[in-house]
Amino acid sequence: MKGAEISPQSRVGKKVREKMATTTSQTEAAPEAEKESLLGESSEIISQIQDLQGESESIKDILDMEKSYAAEVATIMKQFLDQIGRSYVLDPSLFPRLGHGVKEVILTPQGVFFLSYNNGLNIARTVDDLSPDSLIKVLERILPDVKAFLTERRQKLSARATMLEKVAGELKRVPSIPKSARGSQKAQQQASQ
């Protein structure tokens, strides 16, 4: 049973083999941990890129909606400007993209902007040409005037309607002229001719 005894050399050999196996597994574990770390970072980056793509698509959709609504607002704005029939002198600072050389901006009832530049150049643009930001600024500027104009117009129409109502009521009280009296008036008029 001598073969069953473990020699001191074999004990040392076993420890060396265990140590080498541990070192080898640690060496193999280090690249594995590094790979897992890189994969984790990579998936985080991919997730962030996907979030950016989602945000970009949302912005594109919103810009498309803004453009569509701006076109609709411009069409409606031209209609009410035409109905009101008034022109508006606007501050050139409402239109920052036009530059600093604009001295006067006039909005006509047809929805056309006439731009007068300091160098004498005159240009016409429609409400449709405005950026959504400029369109909002123009609306903020003219809507209080439009409201005041419509309020004044309503008051005038109301006063006229009230006056006509009173006149109609008074005329109803005037006694009617009998037919016989109307006939004798016609005879008198014909005789005098």
In tens, the pLDDT along 117-159 reads 888 888 898 888 888 988 999 999 999 988 998 899 999 999 9
Q: By three-state DSSP, how is residue 192 classified?
A: helix
Does 3 fall in a domain? no
Per-residue pLDDT tens for 30-84? 566 666 666 667 888 888 888 899 999 999 999 999 999 999 999 998 988 888 8
**38: domain range?**
12-172
Which pLDDT score is estimated for 146? 87
Q: Answer yes or no: is 26 within a domain.
A: yes
What's the CA gap between 142 and 30, in Å, rounded? 71
H or E stretch including 138?
Answer: helix 132-173
Number of independent structural domains in the chain = 1
Q: List C-alpha distances in Å: 18 to 3, 11, 81.
A: 22, 11, 92
Q: Domain for residue 184, yes or no?
A: no
The model's pTM: 0.58
- The answer to the question of residue 153 being in a domain is yes
The reply to whether 115 falls in a domain is yes
Task: With respect to residue 35, please indicate whether it lies within any of the assigned structural domains.
Answer: yes
Residue 179: band (very low, low, confident or very high) from pLDDT cuts 50, 70, 90? confident
- Report the chain's C-alpha Rg in angstroms: 45
18 lies in some domain: yes
149 part of a folded domain: yes
